[in-house]
Chain A
Amino acid sequence: MGDIAIKVENLSKAYQLGDFGTGTLSRDIERKWALLRGKEDPFLKIGEANDRATAGTSDIVWSLKDINFEINKGDAVGVIGRNGAGKSTLLKVLSRVTVPTAGSVKIMGRVASLLEVGTGFHPELTGRENIFLNGAILGMRKHEIKKHFDAIVDFAGVERYIDTPVKRYSSGMYVRLAFAVAAHLESEILIVDEVLAVGDAEFQKKCLGKMGEVSKGEGRTVLFVSHNMAAISNLCSKSILLKHGQLQTMDYTHTVIDKYIRTGENNDGQVNLEDLIVKQKSTKAGFYALRLLSRSKGITADFAINEDVIIEIEYDVYEDGTTIQPSIHLLDNLDTCIFATFSAPSASSTVDPFYKKPLQKGRYRSTCVIPGNYLNDKNYKINAFLVPENMADMAVAESVLAFTVIETGDMRKEFTGDWWGVVRPKLSWNTEAIIA
């Protein structure tokens, strides 16, 4: 039962990589010529998945490939996937910002999409003027905006400043007003991209509440993209999992989130000798392989936030009697070193029996564990070092491994906003009354 609100059939979207400026004219002519003769576009190669890690052979990337799904009227559906999985492209196609390369989308009802808060706000105009302008940009008629005007102003809490140009607004007020307009759209289908990452925690709660009201109370269809698993699981009964532009699953949200965390998005997590790019070689020892492991699924590059990240370094020692000190730097996306660690007894929580021990020629494996509930839900990189007694002779492999820590919602029961910081340790908290 239930009428279908959105029906997506064989939807694909290709993007061209690289420079558009040079050579496009000659390429355009070549393409037109091929199409004229009834041949396929020579620059479109079907069958190449959108995998950023491995360089493709053509510079066309399929951001979405053969997507099929149906959404029933009144459902709230979450879209889950890693960066570059095609989530935003899917929303862009559904909200008609761009056209698909192949396939079709059929929609029943009016669509309002919210890919950004405050699109088209003009700083010189007053709050009142911007409500009308923004509402109209989002597809509302003037009389509809008039009808909801008081509710919008009330929701945003900006009564006093409604006739002030929005350039004088605080950023919080600006965002509140912008979301308020969007929240009061009269559309049967609402498409929302990660817009809740803005504003303060209280307002985020209000937004989520409003969106819940929209989908549950008013029976409107909602499509919601977020990295915030807690928000998705609160709001959406069903979810879609995208990976490299392909639809992995569409199921109940908790099943999908589970799958998202369990199946590593790419099985990287491991670099072997042949792929290893060593920045500096040593005469005493050399890397053999580097690996990232999780206790639940072995080699992976995706870790749930509460999981231990196990880093293995395998290396060959070239001479008898060498001492080798393996060491690791953890970096964030901006190459800032978050910490450096090595196995010295005073710097390690466990005792490494091979510390400072002269080694026989052969292969060794050192393991380091970053505990769960310590990192934030971000991307991290690792630099690895093999340091012999003469430190200048060390082997260096920079950014050899990258991994992603994924939100499970475990630490998100109270706060759903953007979590600041490069790490997110669980610390001990206590409050006592001093004067009461």
Chain B
Amino acid sequence: MSKLHVTTTVNGDEVEYLCDPRETLLDCLRDKLNLTGAKEGCGTGDCGACSVTVDGRLVCSCLMLGVEAEGKQIETVEGIADGYVLHPLQKKFIEYAALQCGVCTPGILVAAKSLLEKNPDPTEEEARYWLAGNLCRCTGYDKIIRAVMDTAAELREAS
């Protein structure tokens, strides 16, 4: 089967890859671009471990084909920190121990960042519903929600 050439932008860098039309964006990020931060937890869009943003919109990269990334702006967990400066969400996740195994963390950080960009002052309920597409099996979500709410408060104070 012939492969297709794709040019796209990931975390601000222009990248190219050849992919089989059946390969997902997640496959391409991981296997062709060495960006293994996004994880495949289910492959069916149910767990959110592969969350990325595409032109600013939160998507499950396992549900999007690699070829559909042509010309898009993609942001992954690897692009959340600004160089060596962590994003406030990343700092709070460490401080609150909002992760145990950490395999869902990349997706949750991408989703939480997307939430705070849309809604800087979410209620706990809004945060819980926004993150309902990101499964975590270790934490019971308590410390994750606290970290997100505290980050939101800190970002509001800073702005």
Query: A and B bound?
Result: no
